[in-house]
Structure 1
Amino acid sequence: MLVIDTEQTRGALSFEQAIPALREAFAQGAHVPARHVHAIESGGAHGTSLIMPAWNERGYFGVKVINIFPENTRQSLPGLHATYNLYSARSGVPLAQVDGDIVTVFRTAGAAALGASYLARPDAAVLLIVGSGRIAGLLAQAMRAVRPIRKVLVWNLRPAGAQALAEELRVQGYDAAATEDLEAAVRQADIVSCATLSTVPLVHGAWLQPGTHLDLIGSFKPDMIETDTACFDGTSVYVDTDEAPTKAGDLLAAFQAGVLRREDLRGTLADLVSGKAPGRRDAREITVFKAVGSALEDLTLAALVYENRGGASPADRTV
């Protein structure tokens, strides 16, 4: 079994490879059982642990364990930590242990960009990142892989986090700036990408301008929410998988408020990739993409890391 550490995992991934790999994976499909969700409490600390298995016809089987502790930010720790084990789905032989944190952030940002490749305007140039964590830190790279991003704005509940991410992006060559005026930033953005663990609305529908693409990839539980319900009123709403309408607090709140019905959802990533869903229809349409993440994405990128690090695919192995 290969042990692929943090730096090796990071070095084996790029959005130029990851986004096409995700597109192909959603086209081909995989076996993705419902995730196991466990509430963790110890010594007054509270978190959530997700166990996410998946396997595909290419012969890969993988399991991710991801732990989410939102209060970690008070200790200057990341809110998410994950491990990933990859196996042969044809023999059960362990193939690799891959850094789950890196896989998670790349697959989340990559899936957001895959959605934007169908839903954001072709000329989308101004990106607003809401959040400043590890996933937020990759969104500019991911979105630039599919759209001509020329300016990046960053807002965070803690302004120091936004300033730090903006500086990091400037070092990478982006025209980036931190902002403390979220409403003004939303009003001028072509793509608004939210990657937070918020439990209260941050982005308001009244701020969204015609032609905006709203990308929501942070919340993944019923009690987590990044927008008000007006963001779903009269907009074109897509989800990553059929699991999103049962788990995402943003969608559940919109259903309860009566501004969105489940049958109003225009499609999933698989529908967009296959052409079953049309994607953006005109330049003034406001599109929304709500993702809660899929084990298919983790499996796809873990296998990509494994093969890029010299591992033989299950189809080529003798055991």
Structure 2
Amino acid sequence: MRIITAAEIAGALTYGALVDALADAFRSDITVPLRHHHPIPQVPGEPEAMLLLMPAWTPPGDGAFVGTKLVSVYPGNGARGLPSIYGSYVLCNGETGAPLAILDGTMLTVWRTACASALASRFLSRKDASSMVMVGAGALAPHLIRAHAAVRPIRNVALWNRSREKAVALAEGLGRTVPGVTITVATDLQAAVEEADIVSCATISSQPIVSGAWLKPGAHLDLVGAYTPAMRECDDAAVTRASLYVDTRTGGLKEAGDIVDPIRRGIIRAEDVRADLFDLCRGRQAGRAHSDEITLFKSVGTAIEDLAAAILVWRSLPL
């Protein structure tokens, strides 16, 4: 069994190739059971930990795969100076069940998450989209910028983060690695959003950051944070102005705060979500209908994406 490191994953993948692999996966017959949540009691005074299991497998036959992402969430790790989330991905032969590899789950996740947003952007953003705002300066931000730039002619990116220092540091680092794209730090988020063709958010905010009133005609809003029903990255105006799309209906209508909360309060209905990535990739829904349409994509992640990314890495690395 092979151990595949974060560096090997980054060296094996390209954003365009992974976007294509995800599109193929959403058109295929990959089986994805509901993710498993297992609470793990801790010593008194420590917050409860959680073990997440995300399995998926391809149809049986030659070249079949089975994969599971194992994620441990230990909220108390911050006090120990440790990450609160660890992840590993186990890829197995789908014919025999024999383990093939263990992949770095954190690196695999940021790549597949960013490329899922880029896949949605292929259907939902304007084809001439050239300006982008990145809200958040965490681990996902550089991948989201590069992934969107792989599918649209992005020329200008404005970074905004609550901590300006983090945004400045990210801008300086990205300026050397994203050729042809001018990266600046935004001080006025509203003004930056009002000019942007694509607005991408990757935060852990519990309150809306982006207002729908700021979105110009034709804008595309990409929401990657707000992965629990108690979190929000956009306000009600955004979800009522925009055409709504999710990565999967199963996850989006259960876990995505930006969708679940407005539905719960009667602002929108579940039927207002026009399509998910299955519908878009299989041609059941076309996506953007006209140049002035405002679109919104909400992602919470799915094991299909992990399996597709892991298979692409496995096939891309030398034996």
What does the per-residue CA deviation read over 1:277-296, in whole Å, with 9 as the maximum and x for residues that have no partner? 11001111000001110100
Is residue 239 of structure 1 aligned with residue 246 of structure 2? yes
Equivalent residue runs for 1:77-92 within 5 Å:
80-92=85-97
Q: Does residue 273 of the first structure (1) align with residue 281 of the second (2)?
A: yes
Q: 243-252 or 282-291: which moved more?
A: 243-252
Using the TM superposition, give the Cα deviation of residue 80 of structure 1 relative to its aligned residue in structure 2, in angstroms.
4.2
Cα distance in 2, alignment partners of residues 177 and 305 from structure 1: 32
Gaps of 5+ in 2: none
Map of 1:281-292 to 2, 5 A cutoff?
Answer: 281-292=289-300
SS at match of 2:253: helix
* Partner SS, residue 266 of structure 1: strand
Per the TM alignment, residue 75 of structure 1 is displaced from its structure 2 partner at its CA by 8.3
Contact 2:212 2:241 in 1 (8 A): no
Alignment of 1:149-298 (within 5 A): 149-172=154-177, 173=179, 174-243=181-250, 244-298=252-306
Q: 2:34: which partner in 1?
A: 34
| Deviations 1:194-249 (CA, angstroms, capped at 9, x unpaired) | 11122111111111111110001122211222111221113100110122111111
8 Å contact kept, 1:132–1:156:
yes
Distance 1:165 1:41, change over 3 A: farther
Corresponding residue for 1:316? none
What is the CA–CA distance in structure 2 between the aligned matches of 1:219 and 1:258, rounded to whole Å? 19
Task: Give the equivalent residue in structure 1 for 2:104.
Answer: 99
Call closer, same or farther: CA 1:9–1:110 in 2, change over 3 Å. same
| CA distance 1:60–1:92, change in 2 (3 Å) | same
SS where residue 54 of structure 2 aligns? strand
| Contact residue 230 and residue 259 of structure 1 kept, 8 A | no
Q: Does residue 1:306 correspond to 2:311, yes or no?
A: no
Structure 1 counterpart of 2:70: 65
Asked if 2 retains the 8 angstrom alpha-carbon contact of 1:189 and 1:212, the reply is yes
How much has 1:99 moved relative to structure 2? 0.9
- Over 3 Å counting, the alpha-carbon distance change for 1:69 and 1:177 in structure 2 is farther
Residue in 2 aligned with 1:55? Answer: 57
Q: Report how many residues are paired.
A: 311
Q: Distance in 2 between matches of 1:222 and 1:241?
A: 15
1:122 match: 127
In the TM superposition, residue 186 of structure 1 has moved relative to its aligned partner by: 1.2
CA contact (8 A) 1:215 1:289 kept: yes
Please report how far the alpha carbon of residue 46 of structure 1 lies from its aligned counterpart in structure 2 after TM superposition.
5.8
CA contact (8 A) 2:230 2:261 kept: no
Answer yes or no: is the 8 Å Cα contact 1:47–1:67 preserved in 2: yes
1:16 and 1:187 map into 2 onto residues whose CA distance is 28
Paired AA for residue 305 in structure 1? V
What do residues 12-49 of structure 1 show as CA deviations (whole Å, max 9, x unaligned)? 11112101000111011311011112455645356654
1:137-152 map, 5 Å: 137-152=142-157
Q: Among the aligned pairs, what percent are the same residue?
A: 43
Q: Partner of 2:228: helix, strand, or coil? A: coil
Aligned partner of residue 267 in structure 1, secondary structure: strand
> Contact 1:229/1:257 (CA < 8 Å) preserved in 2?
no
Query: Does the aligned pair in 1 maintain the 2:201–2:222 contact within 8 Å?
Result: yes
Ranges in structure 1 where 5+ consecutive residues have no aligned partner: 312-319
Structure 1: how far apart are the matches of 2:79 and 2:128? Answer: 39
| Cα offsets for 1:130-150 (capped at 9, x unmatched) | 111111121111011110000
Q: Aligned partners of 1:161, 1:77: CA distance in 2, in Å?
A: 19
Instruction: Render the CA deviation track for 1:122-168: whole Å, top value 9, x for unaligned.
Output: 11111111111111121111011110000011111221111111111
> So what's the TM-score if we normalise by structure 2?
0.91
Query: CA 1:205–1:196 in 2, change beyond 3 Å: closer, same or farther?
Result: same
User: Deviation per CA, 1:73-96, whole angstroms, max 9, x where unpaired?
Assistant: 898866643111101122110010
Which residue type is aligned with residue 196 of structure 1?
T
Amino acid at match of 1:198: S
Q: 1:170 to 1:48 in 2, by over 3 A?
A: farther
